[in-house]
Amino acid sequence: MRWFWLALAVWGALHPMRWSIAWFAQNGYSWDGLLAAWGANLATKALAWELVIAAITLIAWILVEVRVRRNWEALLAIPATALIGVGCGLPLFLFLRTRPI
C-alpha cells in the first residue's frame, strides 16, 4: 500500500496542476481571478470550502501524529497540502506515515 499512496500523491499533484495551468493560460496569472472563479457559483463555492475544511483537518491530523509518533518527515505533507492541495498532501502523508520504523 505504501507505494500506492506515493502514486496517488504524484497523481494528486500533477493532474490538478494540469487544469490550473490551463486556467492560467486562458485567464492570465491572476490570483484574484482564481479566487473569484472558486466562488463563481454555489457549486464551486461548496467544493472550495470542502477542500479548505479537508486541508485544515489534514494539517491538524499531521501535527497531532507528528507530536505523538515523532515522525518529523511527515511534516513535508503540510506544505504539499497548502501549496498543491489535499489530493497530494493526504496520500503523501499516508506514504510518510507508513514508512518502516
Instruction: Determine the structural domain holding residue 25 and report its residue range.
Output: 2-97
Q: How many CB atoms lie within 10 A of CB 66?
A: 19
Number of H helices, E strands in the chain: 5, 0
Give the pLDDT confidence score for residue 20 in this predicted structure.
87
pLDDT in tens, 28-87: 888 888 888 888 899 989 999 999 999 999 999 999 999 999 999 999 999 999 999 999
Its pTM stands at 0.87
CA distance 71 to 45: 35
Number of domains, the chain:
1
| SS3 category, 78 | helix
